[in-house]
């Protein structure tokens, strides 16, 4: 009896408003496509950020390897510190901390601590 009533109600609804049912299904389908588009956009943005992090990590390794051979090791060390701070910030913004070893994250935090101290320290021109 309940099934027959349900079929009757659905039949009446389909005959009374065939266009609205069709447009509702179409709108639902379009909403789902938009949801997938948003997911793709977010994935593309995250992938681009992850690729940038990777490239910055490679740059940091190259700086670390060449710091003692550099003509101006202090300037290169400063670049390392700023780069490590940028990498750490990006990793945290993208919530990727769990992908990296604790030793690597600690290394980034160590270098970044020098960057924070440099930001807080007065410059020699300001002190004069």
How many CA within 13 A on the CB side of residue 107?
Answer: 13
pTM beyond 0.75: the answer is no
Q: Which residue has tokens 């601590």?
A: 113
pLDDT at 72: 87
CB contact at 8 A, 87 and 50 = no
pLDDT confidence band for 85 (50 / 70 / 90): very high
- What is the sign, positive or negative, of the torsion defined by CA atoms of 66, 68, 71, 75? positive
Question: Residue 115 has which token pair?
Answer: 């960057």
pLDDT in tens, 11-64: 655 655 555 555 666 677 778 889 999 999 999 999 999 999 999 999 999 998
């Amino acid at each position: 009896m309940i099934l027959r009533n349900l079929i009757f109600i659905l039949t009446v609804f389909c005959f009374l408003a065939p266009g609205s049912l069709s447009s509702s299904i179409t709108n639902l389908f379009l909403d789902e496509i938009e949801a997938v588009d948003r997911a793709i956009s977010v994935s593309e943005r995250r992938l681009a950020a992850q690729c940038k992090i990777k490239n910055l990590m490679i740059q940091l390794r190259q700086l670390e390897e060449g710091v003692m051979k550099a003509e101006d090791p202090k300037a290169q060390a400063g670049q390392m510190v700023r780069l490590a701070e940028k990498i750490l910030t990006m990793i945290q913004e993208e919530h990727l901390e769990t992908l990296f070893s604790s030793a690597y994250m600690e290394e980034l935090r160590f270098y970044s601590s020098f960057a924070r101290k440099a930001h807080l320290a007065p410059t020699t021109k300001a002190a004069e």
